[in-house]
């Protein structure tokens, strides 16, 4: 397989993994292991997010049983 073909195959695999994870999550069929894989996939690809006002991430952070000090490490 040439370098060009190899790169195309890797891009296709990457896209397929992302689409499959997204489909499982959107359908509600994702198991805890699927969610863990999705988190690792995002982290491994340098994807992060800021919890902006009224975002799903902000709402999630608000319901977690941690104090601001525990979340930020700042006393």
Give the pTM. 0.71
Give the residue among 31, 48, 30 at the shortest CA–CA distance from 40.
Answer: 48
Q: Which two tokens stand for residue 6?
A: 């190899």
Query: 2-41 pLDDT, tens per residue?
Result: 888 999 999 999 999 999 999 999 999 999 999 999 999 9
Question: What is the DSSP track for 32-51?
Answer: HHHHHHHHHHHHHTT-----
The domain ranges of the chain are 3-72
75 pLDDT exceeds 60? no
Between CA 70 and CA 68 the distance in angstroms is 5
Q: What is the pLDDT of residue 71?
A: 59
């Amino acid at each position: 397989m040439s370098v060009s073909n190899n790169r195309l195959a890797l891009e296709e695999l990457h896209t397929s993994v992302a689409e499959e994870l997204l489909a499982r999550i959107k359908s509600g069929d994702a198991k805890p292991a699927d969610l863990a894989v999705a988190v690792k996939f995002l982290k491994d690809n340098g994807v992060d997010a800021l919890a902006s006002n009224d975002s799903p991430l902000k709402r999630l952070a608000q319901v977690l049983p941690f104090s601001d000090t525990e979340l930020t490490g700042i006393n």
